[in-house]
Amino acid sequence: MPRRRLLELTAIGLAAGLFSGLFGVGGGVVIVPLLVLWLAFGDREATGTSLVAIVIIALVAAIAQAGYGNVRVGDALLVGLPATGGVIGGTWLQQRIPAAGVRLLFALFLAVTAVLLVVRAL
């Protein structure tokens, strides 16, 4: 692997890991756009590649959090296992309905959720 590519992948990994540990997300928000921008990956290729990284990142971060006693294993399994079925259904649906309208609605929903979180924090 060329040196430059190795450096770029390392930078992506360092940023994604920190992001994941800080926010409890997989890090795809960081990995996917950077793979597209820096390494000229296609959208789907970037998504697929990021998922491999996320398996490792989320597992390590979850273990670290478990060290602090913060992981509710029962809840994680109750949410995570059914979610795998949901993802398969969602991907299937994605090919069949125009997603732009749904996306816009969901953006609004996320914004409202963000406001609720801030209200709760204050």
Examine residue 38 and tell whether it contacts another protein (CB under 8 A): no
Q: What is the largest CA-CA distance in the chain?
A: 49
CB 23 → another protein: shortest distance, Å?
6
Residue in the structure block whose two tokens are 């670290």 = 64
User: φ and ψ at 41, to 5 degrees?
Assistant: -70, 150
- Which lies closer to another protein via its Cβ, residue 4 or residue 59? 59
Q: Please tell me whether residue 7 binds another protein under the rule CB under 8 A.
A: no
Q: Report residue 122 as tokens.
A: 């204050």
Please enumerate in sequence order all residues whose Cβ is within 8 A of that of 15, keeping only pairs 6 or more positions apart, or say none: 30, 34
Confirm if 60 and 37 have CB atoms less than 8 A apart: no
CB of 82 to another protein, least distance (A): 4
Q: Establish if 39 lies at the interface with another protein (CB under 8 A).
A: yes
Instruction: Please give the backbone phi and psi of residue 82, each rounded to the nearest 5 degrees, phi first.
Output: -65, -30
**Under rule CB under 8 A, which residues in 73-112 are in contact with another protein?**
73, 75-94, 99-104, 106-108, 110-111
> Under the criterion CB under 8 A, does residue 37 sit at the interface with another protein?
no
**If binding is defined by CB under 8 A, does position 40 make contact with another protein?**
no
52 binds another protein (CB under 8 A): yes
